[in-house]
Amino acid sequence: MRFITARAEPYMQAAGVLVYSLHTKRFLVGKRGLHGDSPNVWAPFGGKVEVGETVCDAALRELYEEAGLAVLPSSVQSEPLYVWQPNPDFVFTTFLAWVGAEPELTINEESSGYQWVTLEDMRMLDLHPGFRDLLNSVELEDIHAFTLSKDVL
């Protein structure tokens, strides 16, 4: 995969991974903790891209740090699912990845919970504004096509 590394100037890049279970056909979302921006809302696990780190590598590192889930880069869609830029100084890139079964997770203090949900049930949750933007902007057919392509593996 070819992705730009984080820039050193005052500008923040962050990234996350929306994980799909091939066995249950559900997606992993984490509930953000009380500290930080947008507490108690649901979103993919993710965080800041470190200088010299690729956006995809950062997303996978954050998933592991926050949820204890290691996903191989070969299990990540090659292009980002969505890039959210609410202001000129911040960009959040979301990738789509897949796992077989839904593993038990051990979340860190940055989150207060997690759940595996269908795409339809996801819309009923109190979502982070950027994640709601993703669901409103990305063609659901694209997500369904991605998940269907993984079902034939």
Residue 27, CB-side half-sphere exposure with 13 Å CA sphere: 24
pLDDT (0 to 100) of residue 152: 45
Give the phi and the psi of residue 145 in degrees, each rounded to 5. Answer: -65, -40
Parallel, antiparallel or unpaired: strands 90-99 and 12-21: parallel
pTM: 0.86
Please report which helix (H) or strand (E) contains residue 61, including its range: helix 55-67
pLDDT (0 to 100) of residue 64: 97
Average pLDDT per block of 10 residues along the chain, 153 residues long: 50 92 93 86 96 94 97 90 90 94 94 93 94 84 65 49
pLDDT (0 to 100) of residue 76: 92
Question: Which residues partner with 17 through β-bridges?
Answer: 45, 95
- Which CATH superfamily does the domain covering 12-142 fall into? Nucleoside Triphosphate Pyrophosphohydrolase (3.90.79.10)
pLDDT (0 to 100) of residue 35: 81
Three-class DSSP category at 142: helix
Q: Contact, 27 vs 146, CB < 8 A?
A: no
Q: What is the DSSP string of 76-95?
A: B-SS-SEEEEEETTEEEEEE
pLDDT (0 to 100) of residue 147: 65
Best CA proximity match to 12, nearest among 93, 94, 76, 132: 93
Domain spans in the chain, listed from the N-terminal domain onward: 12-142
pLDDT (0 to 100) of residue 148: 65
pLDDT (0 to 100) of residue 1: 42
pLDDT (0 to 100) of residue 151: 56
